[in-house]
Each structure stands twice: as structure tokens, then as C-alpha cells.
Chains A and B, each alone.
Chain A
């Protein structure tokens, strides 16, 4: 029988960084990955002459060589930094409401202020104050998270805003609904509308993306996944592709190993699961091995939405198409009160906010010469798609994609005529490739009650089992990569 120190289930961001960190520290590690490539969400796929980026829109936490952000430092320690090239995106995003609004926020603080103040001169002062708050709040928040033992009274902004929604704060500062819609649009990368989203997350987004700049990776997120895997293999790690975990073996409250979907039994002292928390505890372990209290705690959590994505290869360069921002949020209107939240629960994509990314703007080599690719994303819960009769699935897919393309045509009128390849991913596609219930792409939802002040205790109900990935960390590339590192850290500490 085969034996490893650690079996890592899933080669997503969390699994890969856990595995690489462990292997680097001399552990004997095996990764089991169901797909034939590493990365989970951080992958790409080929159609025609295009290689489409699946998931990465804006990478946070890189910073610069002189002032490295947490992610850059981590990738440096894994030894993969030299393998990769990063492209800084000059803009945060363009926010577009047909006939009403069109502003592009550059990725620097004064630029953001100037742009907004020029467009909304009547609220010049409020704009300045709002971003002062964003910065001061973010810094206070980081201090608090790092040093929660500090005394009361040191956190006046947290005291006031910790449990406010993004909308609460936008309403407090601004009057013009169009102005509120601009910062509000960033919700598109988090999965909760401003009325439900904790202000903390909006503040973190603006603070980190302005201070450390949004980045993209040359070759896409697949390059990152392959680089980390390569480092893992170089440290003696092993991986099996096309090989899902079928069961985590548990005895007397401790892990014994894993049985693969093909029935191979492999023993190990530790298991790191990058699968969803629900899959891990309900499907792979089974409730009989878990204290009832654990599931009780999970009861209050809800699954995040999935995505409906249209991947488009265009036969023109971005400039010829009039695309000059890497990210465009195409909003149907200025509403931040939760209309969009309701829209996430229906199949139709008519009037959805569309997050439109074109990587070729910042990286002209991303697609073949004379071409570029665009990814259209709207967030959707899985349930309506799970109710579509299988035989109508393809038709619904095209119908909803068509509606998104119509939204895009309002900004880029020539778009449709230049489409060369189009592939559509629905929540069921994410369910298939990520194995997450409902196709969730952001783990559990982070309502105020689940926000960073109330993180679930990381104590595992099973000895030797650790979790990594978006179901135990904030969502996004940086947090999930970091979560793998902390899972590895916990194991290494136990090993002394």
C-alpha cells in the first residue's frame, strides 16, 4: 500500500500552495486532482486559436519588487516568481451605464479622485472624504486583524463602520445615485450587492487594488498553477491527474488516508482538502464521523453564487474594437439597493450587470496577433440552472449568452460582428469542473454576519485534516493561495 505524509485533495489555488509549501519543507506529498490540468478555477482552455482565461480578472497582493505585497512574497518563497511575468493594469475599471455614465477609474488614488470629482463636481468634497475614510478604515482594519488585543478606543472607525453595508456608507457620503453606482460596481468581483456587502470588503478592495495595483499574469492563471505545480514536483511531490478522491478515511476522529474514485487506498498522516467544505465533510468524510455541532455551525452559512460566463475570441485587436480598459462593469442602471441581488436568482441575464474583461489591453501578447479575447461575467446562483431540463440546457445557454452580448454591444457596438469563438459556461459548468455544490465560485457567502469579524474557527473536527481554499478563506486568488500556505503552516507546526 502507498503511504504519504500528506495527501492534498484538489490542485486549486489552495491545494497547490499547501502542497508546494509542504513539499518544500521536506514532506512527502501526493496531490489528487480530478481534472487533467492543475489550477481548479485558475486554469485556461483552448478553442480555435485562443487560450481562454477561466477565472482571473484582477490579481491582488502583488505590489512591486521594491515593495512586495503578501502574494509576491509568498510566490517568492515558493521559488516561482522568476518563472512568471506580471502585467500591471493601469486602471481599476470603467463603469458604464448606457446613456448615463461612463467613467474609467485609474489605479491610483489621486486619479480616482480627479476622475470622480470632474464627473461629479457638486460632490467634490464628499468624494475626497469618502476615499479618506476608505484608506483610514482599511488601515485600521488591518491593524485590528493583526493585533486584536489592542485596547478599545483605538478603533474609532471600526466602532462606527464595521457593521455597515457598502450601501449604508455610500448613502451617507453621496447624494447622486450615479456617483454611488461607481464604487458600488466593484461588488461584481465579490458576489454580494452593495446593500448586503459589508463595507469592510469594499474598503479592502479599493485600498489594496489602488495601493498594490491590479495585476494580470502573462500566460494567464494557468501559468501560475503550472509554475507552482512545477515547484512542487521539483521538491519531490507527486500528483495524480484524472483521479478524484472518493473517500477520506477516518478512524477514531483522525484521518488515516484517502480512497480514490478508482478504489485505490492510500494512507497518510494528514489530509489537506481543497474541495468545498460541504463536499469534504458531507461527501468525502460522512456525517457519522463529525460532531453534530460542526454542521450546526455550518447551518447559518449560505453558498455563494456561481457565474455565467461568455468567453469570446475576437478577430480584432482591442484598440480596433474601441476597448481601452481591461475591466468594464456594464451596469443596467444606477441601482445599488439590491435589484441586482434578485437578478442573481433568475436564469435570465437580461439587465444583469456584466463584468467585461479584456486582458489584451494590458498584455497585447495575450491572444494571437490581430485578435483579442473578452470574458463576460454575470454572477448567478446555481439553483435556476439546476432546474433547467437537460434537453433545454443548450438552448437556454445560448439565449442567456445572447442577452449578455446585447448588453456589451451598448458599449462596444461592433462586438458581435467580430466574434470568432464563443464558449459559454453556466453554473452547471462550474459545478462540473470545480465540483462545488450549486457551482459556487466564492465559497460561503460573506454577509455581515459572516464577515471577517466572525471567521469560523479553523479548528478541524477531524485530527490531521486541514482545509484550504475559498470555503475557509475569503474568496479570490490572493486569499486562497494564502489559505494553502496557512494550512501547510499548521501541519508543519504540528510536525515541529
Chain B
């Protein structure tokens, strides 16, 4: 089982959008996929029309008493299941801190899905916390969306510094551009600068598009509803590139 997480320090950069669509594409290719919605805002669950859980279930991620697999739900799509979010995930940090091995607690939790799924996707809340440190340790690959703006560049570089300090393998980090507005010269320029300064950005990127924005209305992965659209095809290309880079 390979674990992919979608992470950035900054909020609202397209983590959930990428996680939902790419998890769908992965499942569509026949890999058994579980998307874990660890963000208490429950956006990924919302996109799949799955209600968040009742609000007391964060313990399943930190103790052996409840099995997380009991909470898994099937999405409407073949090979794709979801572990719904729970409002109590807000307190995950505190709970992880109390666990016996706080830095590798999630590694232990996710082992239970070995064999049942081929790929695990994790949609993370923004910020650097104990939870995100756990996620860095458990992930085979971290996909980091970056909006080509000065502010995003700063937070991306902060993340790289943090990982270096924690001695976490930066090789596992795959950055890609998100919400790119091609009409903005500033975006173009910033993409060039960033590619120069940080090799490793994916060639393909996710442009800013109104059909992507509308996912909140039709509540489904975009390629499931508009498989022939430009946005869907661009997502497929991006996903291909990730697969080639990381042999998921």
C-alpha cells in the first residue's frame, strides 16, 4: 500500500480539490483506493456527499480500541472508499501528543489498511502541527499545491526548511502549481522563477477554472461528471506525471 498525502502550510491552495480528483482517477484505473479526510472542515467528505461523523471519533486514529476501518464508507465510485472527517479531528494534535509514540502514531493506524487498499490518499488540514509531522512520516509521497504567488512561494520554502530540519526526506515531496491563472503575467513569471529555484515542480499544473470551482455545487469528482472536459484531461495528464515520477 502506497500512501500519498496532500499538504501545504497555507490554506485554500487546492489540496482538497487535487486529493478528490486524483483519488478518483487512481481508483478509475483499478487501484483500490481509500481517501482519508483528516481535515475537520470535512470538504473532501462534502464533495463525495458523505456526512462527516458524529463528532467523537478521533480516538480511532490514536487508539487501538476502535478500528478506523469500521468508519470507512463506499463512495459512489468503484474502487474508491472514504474515511469521513469528524469535527473532533480538531483535537487530533492533543491526542497524538498523548499517544505512546507521538511522532509515528499514524503510521501504526494506517497499517490496518495494508492489503485492503493499494493506495491511501490523505487530505490534510493546513498548518504545521504534530498531525502534519505524523503525516510527513507516514507518507511515501507528499503532493504540495503551490499557487504561483509571492506569499505561496514563501510558505513553500518554509515547508522545505522545516522538513530539512526534521531530517525528513525532501525527495518525497512533489510540488505542483495550482489555481494557475494564465492571463496573469505575475503567475507566469512566478512559475518560471520557482522552477528555476526549486527543480522538481511537475510539468503539468492545475489551472484556475470555473468548472473546477463549481465542484462544490455538483459535489462529485470533476472527471466523473465531465470526463471529456479540458480540466479533466489536464488532471489526467498531471496524474500520469505523478505516477511516472513516483511509481505509485
A and B: interacting chains: no
Residues of A at under 8 Å CB distance from B?
Answer: none
